[in-house]
Amino acid sequence: MKALKFGGSSVSTPERIRVVARIISEAATNERIVVVVSAFQGITNQLIHCARLAESGGRGYLASYKEIAKRHRTMLHELCGAKLSASDGQAVDQLLEELQESLKGISLLRQCPPRALDLVTSFGERLSAVIISSFLYRKRNQPSRYVDTRGLIVTDDNFTQATVLFDKTNRNLRRHFKKLFSGKPRNVIPIATGFIGATEDGRTTTIGRNGSDYSAAIIGAALNASIIEIWTDVDGILSADPAIVPSAFVLPGISFEEAMELSYFGAKVLHSATIAPAVAKKIPVLIKNTLNPVAAGTLISDKVPGAHRDSRVHSHPHPRSEAVAKGITSIDGITLFTLRGLRMVGVPGTAERLFRALADHRVNVILISQASSEHTICFAVTGSDAGRARKAIAHEFRFEFQNKITTFDENDRQTIVAIVGDGMKGTPGVSGKVFDALGRNNINISAIAQGASERNISFVVSHEQKVRAINVIHEAFFEQRTHLSLAIVGVGNIGSTLLRQLHQQRAYLNSQGFDVKVCGISDSKRFVISAEGIDLGRWKEQLATSRRRSNMKQFAQSMGALQLTNSALVDCTASPEVVDAYPEFVDANMHIITPNKKANVLPWQRYAELMEKMRDRQKYFLYEANVGAGLPVISTLHDLIASGDTIVKIEGMFSGTLSFIFNTYDGKKPFSALVAEARKRGYTEPDPRDDLSGQDVGRKLLILARQLGLPFDMKDIRIENLVAPALSRGAYSESFFGKYARYDGAMLRRYEKAKKKGAVLRYVGSLKNGRAAAGLQQYPAGHPFASTKGTDNIIAFTTQRYSVTPLIIQGPGAGADVTAMGVFSDILKLLHYLP
């Protein structure tokens, strides 16, 4: 035997009721069923409203009554159509007449005591059950029988919240249904009213709002149903509120205890107390969706499906942890009180005094956390209880407060977040995982409590951090996918290439378990923000039509306001202003990825501060493209250091421009003409002196030196300038090459001198013995640096391990494509670092 309950939203329109009828017919083909229905959606509220109007006297309630009457009559006609028989219509008319009489009585007496209200609201379920039963019988040839539970469910006389008297109720139910099922016709389907019962002397009662679930559980338990199905308008119980966690999913199965914890902390769908009769008999309860009957739903039972109590928490890189935690819920509008300086250690009864005082003031304490060593006690109450709590404390501890050692403070707008799961019991490391994840995301926890059941870990965060906190926990416990949201600044060559690469690789990343979205884009004029992610097929239009003027601080704040869990700034500019705003992005909980060298060459003090800030906030700073564009220079260096190798020397050609010039220079074409040609080909900076000065090479050396822990600044690097001081000043103009030609002879002599020795000239930066220098050097023909081509970069690491032959990295070291690729590889790295 199965019990099926259909809630108000399942019986709101003729279409829905037709779906319900199909579900009923299908269920009834295999076994006996009992159906319990709610009033049509909204009717209970309308009846209460109508009763209140009647109570205020006059005939004002009539219009409301007529609406109610019309809705039910229309429903009956639309459902039964031509098949409608006179008796069906009469049954409904009679109920409506009775309802009108009751309302009239209320309006005459100008009084609506709870018992009258119960009588009025009972018509909702009675009408609904009668109409659905008629429909099944007339239109679908299902022998059905209307069951008015007022004759069966016996309660006390606590109207509107009546308590069920189970002995009598169970006896009635068993007797009634036994008779019904053994009579004729054989396969009759009872359609019973939810929500209502009666006192022993026959006065109508209701068992509390949304009581139909409870009715179904009472009936199902009395009749020893194999399962109780609660049909509603959602797919089941979710792992978290989908309005907060977009990737929340339907839990296939949870235990009775988990359901209880989840509903205590505000999970919607079902109040666990309503299924208590089912729990007592271990009858599973299945939540199903009338709007989507094929969805599996959530099964609440005494079994914990798939509970492995191992410690996968630590070993698995992306723990699904289905077994450990089941759901996350939260309660907003909490006020947290902290009492300090109480002599609680060794003074028995202090906590008792506090909680007695709170109880006396009718304050409901939701969470308590006590640190005995610090003499503090902390507790959370709902905002509406805060005033009374304050009064209770002020009074109870009035003598202690006089000595000024005892103080208390109060924080409103807090949220309690609770993680629930049977598997947490006895699984080590769960709370560690929770607080590690929160810490990494800079979420400040003001109180922690672990339920005595060990099935619940709760903590208090400020309201502003709630969304991020819940998402962080959801990702840590429930998601295999790693999410990353990016904010891109700069959409020039590199930025737009990167956006194209991200667009192209999205599906691939997804297949690898990475969900990478771009949630913000800014150029020098405007920015756009989208929490869901910007469509990378049309970011240009979106940016061009945005009305938000570019402003790095605001951009950072807007990103921060999204409360993302994993996010990173990708700075694709060369601008010092963006670097100035890095601290704001870090405060917005963002990692930083950039080809922009400006941060890594900041004056030491500022550089050190920025690095410290990132370390404090547990944020990654990735800048592979700072040296050698996409070539894995920085990561190789880090790997060498991390693996315990000692760096003896780093030497390399770090400038694609200078590399091209000296790879090509053969003494035939004058040096200045060659530089002019390189400029024409776009290999140099607009002002070629920026390349010839060696400053760019110097900056890269500085970056490498700082990787080795050397507290260097630019002044610590010796740089040979290939432009004489006289030509270095002033703005660049075409006339530069004419003047630069005067030095062609000197360069040619250096070249010839090297050539005589069988060597070539290369502009090289080197770092060795704590000294950094950049300049023109000779290399013998056999040396790896001698055989470079085009704009190649080449870097040689001589280390303790790579001592005989150095570790060499060589390849194109400039260009938007390879630079964007370096940035992309940082994004991949970050994805792998993220937990």
Positions annotated as catalytic residues are: 700
Q: Does residue number 124 form part of the binding site for Mg ion (CB under 5 A)?
A: no
How is residue 711 annotated by DSSP?
-
Task: Give least dist CB 156 to ligand ASP, A.
Answer: 19
Q: Give the residue with the Cβ less far from Mg ion, 40 or 135.
A: 40
In three state form, how does the secondary structure of 181-231 look? HHCCCCCCEEEEECCEEEECCCCEEECCCCCHHHHHHHHHHHCCCCEEEEE
Task: Give least dist CB 214 to ligand ASP, A.
Answer: 8
Q: How far is CA 126 from CA 52, 119, 174, 516, 588, in A?
A: 20, 11, 21, 53, 56
Q: Which amino acid is at 246?
A: P
Identify the H or E element spanning 485. strand 482-489
Strand 196-199 and strand 204-206: the pairing is antiparallel
CA distance 411 to 461: 10
Q: Give the residue with the Cβ less far from ligand ASP, 126 or 517.
A: 126
CA distance 192 to 129: 6
Out of Mg ion, ligand ASP, none, what residue 209 binds, judged by CB under 5 to 8 A for its kind, is ligand ASP
Window 576-605: contact mask with Mg ion (x via CB under 5 A): ------------------------------
Out of ligand ASP, Mg ion, none, what residue 211 binds, judged by CB under 5 to 8 A for its kind, is ligand ASP
Out of Mg ion, ligand ASP, none, what residue 573 binds, judged by CB under 5 to 8 A for its kind, is none
Note the helical H segments in 31-85: 43-55, 61-80
Q: Give the residue with the Cβ less far from Mg ion, 212 or 415.
A: 212
Q: Give the residue with the Cβ less far from ligand ASP, 194 or 765.
A: 194
How is residue 361 annotated by DSSP?
T
Task: Give least dist CB 127 to ligand ASP, A.
Answer: 11
Q: Does residue number 8 form part of the binding site for Mg ion (CB under 5 A)?
A: yes
Q: Give the residue with the Cβ less far from ligand ASP, 44 or 793.
A: 44
Task: Give least dist CB 121 to ligand ASP, A.
Answer: 7
Quote the radius of gyration of the chain (alpha carbons, Å): 38
Cβ pair 286, 3 in contact under 8 A = no
Q: Give the residue with the Cβ less far from ligand ASP, 150 or 466.
A: 150
Out of ligand ASP, Mg ion, none, what residue 106 binds, judged by CB under 5 to 8 A for its kind, is none
Q: Give the residue with the Cβ less far from ligand ASP, 39 or 283.
A: 39
CA distance 197 to 148: 8
Task: Give least dist CB 595 to ligand ASP, A.
Answer: 60
Task: Give least dist CB 209 to ligand ASP, A.
Answer: 4
Q: Which stretch binds Mg ion (CB under 5 A): 5-13, 338-346, 504-512, 711-719?
A: 5-13
Task: Give least dist CB 8 to Mg ion, A.
Answer: 4
Q: Give the residue with the Cβ less far from ligand ASP, 192 or 572.
A: 192
> Encoding tokens for residue 674?
């060659």
Q: Give the residue with the Cβ less far from ligand ASP, 127 or 622.
A: 127
Strand 154-155 and strand 365-371: the pairing is unpaired
Residue 71 φ then ψ, to 5°: -60, -40
Task: Give least dist CB 215 to ligand ASP, A.
Answer: 8
> Encoding tokens for residue 426?
């006895």
CA distance 329 to 265: 6
CA distance 119 to 54: 14
Q: Give the residue with the Cβ less far from ligand ASP, 272 or 566.
A: 272
Q: Does residue number 813 form part of the binding site for Mg ion (CB under 5 A)?
A: no
Out of Mg ion, ligand ASP, none, what residue 195 binds, judged by CB under 5 to 8 A for its kind, is ligand ASP
Task: Give least dist CB 15 to Mg ion, A.
Answer: 19
Q: Give the residue with the Cβ less far from ligand ASP, 44 or 672.
A: 44
Task: Give least dist CB 205 to ligand ASP, A.
Answer: 13
Range 323-359 burial, b when 16+ CB lie within 10 A, else e: bbbbbbbbbeebbbbbbebbebeeeeebbeebbebbe
Residues 171-190, interacting with Mg ion (CB under 5 A)? none
Binding residues (CB under 6 A) for ligand ASP: these are: 7-8, 38-39, 44, 124, 194-195, 209-212
Q: Give the residue with the Cβ less far from Mg ion, 7 or 560.
A: 7
Task: Give least dist CB 421 to ligand ASP, A.
Answer: 28
Out of Mg ion, ligand ASP, none, what residue 194 binds, judged by CB under 5 to 8 A for its kind, is ligand ASP
Out of ligand ASP, Mg ion, none, what residue 253 binds, judged by CB under 5 to 8 A for its kind, is none
Out of Mg ion, ligand ASP, none, what residue 329 binds, judged by CB under 5 to 8 A for its kind, is none
Strand 144-147 and strand 189-193: the pairing is parallel
CA distance 122 to 95: 10
Q: Which residues face 777 on adjacent strands?
A: 762
CA angle 103, 105, 108 (to 5 degrees): 110
Residues 514-533, interacting with Mg ion (CB under 5 A)? none
Task: Give least dist CB 194 to Mg ion, A.
Answer: 9
Residue of closest CB approach to ligand ASP: 212
Task: Give least dist CB 280 to Mg ion, A.
Answer: 23
Q: Give the residue with the Cβ less far from ligand ASP, 211 or 220.
A: 211
Window 364-403: contact mask with Mg ion (x via CB under 5 A): ----------------------------------------
Q: Which stretch binds Mg ion (CB under 5 A): 3-11, 93-101, 313-321, 662-670?
A: 3-11
CA distance 361 to 748: 95
Sign (positive/negative) of CA torsion 782, 783, 784, 789? negative
Residues 199-228, interacting with Mg ion (CB under 5 A)? 210
Q: Which residues face 448 on adjacent strands?
A: 459
CA distance 84 to 131: 11
**Angle in degrees, 0-180, between the axes of helices 656-664 and 671-680, rounded to the nearest 10:** 130
CA distance 132 to 78: 12
Residue 193 φ then ψ, to 5°: -75, 135
Q: How far is CA 415 from CA 70, 447, 517, 656, in A?
A: 44, 11, 28, 55
CA distance 229 to 6: 9
3-state SS, residue 80: helix
Out of Mg ion, ligand ASP, none, what residue 124 binds, judged by CB under 5 to 8 A for its kind, is ligand ASP
Range 385-420 burial, b when 16+ CB lie within 10 A, else e: bbebbbebbeebbeebeeeeebebeebeebbbbbbb
Residue 281 φ then ψ, to 5°: -100, 10
Summarize as ranges the residues that interact with Mg ion (CB under 5 A). Answer: 7-8, 210
